[in-house]
């Protein structure tokens, strides 16, 4: 099995932003640039997944095709798009993150997710292992702020939450450690784009 990763170096601060990217859009780029700035990261990787186990994947385009579209949208030398999860044959985020941290302990990885994902994080396979493996940052999303912070995972990990002012130190923290980042929020959604809806109008959603 050959797994090709974006360039790595010891001490590099890399944000990992996973999703189906079906399709990738400017909201993904907004989140990535916010993370680069607020978390003092060197790079952000878009992990184009084979598919979310919690969602219907019957009509999901091929991973390679979604990666091509994501590269066209990323348009930033600090953002690398990779579909290596397909080569690994993994189904769950915990498998990906465990594989990366086992093989590259010298890299300072940070998991990045939206507030909508934190709201359902307790349903992810191995979510406690994810929190114990890698620091993570939660990016606020319209309509999810209160729901995310009241979620079972947020409550269970409350003592590991950092103040936003400490966000630039997150990559160097030993897990469990996480931060909730407020700021300008994007209403763009892959779901809405597939449906032809415009954010803010009927039919639009806040989910990727």
Q: What is the pLDDT of residues 5-27, one digit of tens each?
A: 999 999 999 999 999 999 999 99
Which residue range(s) make up the domain with 80? 13-192
What is this structure's pTM? 0.86
Instruction: With respect to residue 6, please indicate whether it lies within any of the assigned structural domains.
Output: no
Instruction: With respect to residue 8, please indicate whether it lies within any of the assigned structural domains.
Output: no
Could you tell me the two tokens for 59?
């009509």
Q: What is the pLDDT of residues 111-153, one digit of tens each?
A: 999 999 999 999 999 999 999 999 999 999 999 999 999 999 9
Given the DSSP bridges, would you call strands 108-114 and 13-19 parallel, antiparallel or unpaired? parallel
Evaluate if residue 55 carries a pLDDT over 90: no
Q: What is the mean pLDDT of the chain?
A: 88
CA–CA gap between residue 59 and residue 122 (Å, rounded): 26
CATH number at residue 180: 3.40.50.620
Number of domains in the chain: 1
Instruction: With respect to residue 134, please indicate whether it lies within any of the assigned structural domains.
Output: yes
């Amino acid at each position: 099995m050959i797994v090709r990763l974006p360039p790595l170096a010891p001490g590099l601060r890399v944000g990992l932003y996973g999703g189906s990217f079906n399709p990738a859009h400017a909201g993904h780029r907004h989140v990535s640039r916010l993370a680069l700035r607020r978390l003092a990261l060197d790079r952000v990787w878009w992990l184009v997944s084979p598919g979310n186990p919690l969602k219907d994947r019957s009509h999901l385009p091929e991973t390679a095709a979604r990666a091509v579209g994501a590269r066209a949208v990323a348009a930033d030398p600090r953002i690398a798009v990779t579909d290596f999860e397909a080569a690994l044959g993994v189904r769950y985020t915990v498998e990906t993150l465990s594989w990366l941290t086992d093989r590259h302990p010298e890299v300072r990885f940070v998991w990045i997710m939206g507030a909508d994902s934190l709201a359902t994080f307790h349903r992810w396979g191995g979510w406690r292992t994810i929190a114990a493996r890698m620091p993570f940052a939660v990016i606020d999303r319209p309509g999810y702020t209160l729901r995310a912070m009241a979620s079972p995972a947020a409550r269970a990990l409350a003592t590991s939450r950092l103040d936003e002012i400490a966000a630039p130190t997150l990559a160097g923290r030993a897990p469990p450690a996480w931060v909730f980042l407020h700021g300008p929020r994007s209403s763009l959604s892959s779901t809405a784009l597939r449906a032809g809806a415009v954010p803010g109008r009927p039919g639009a959603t806040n989910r990727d």
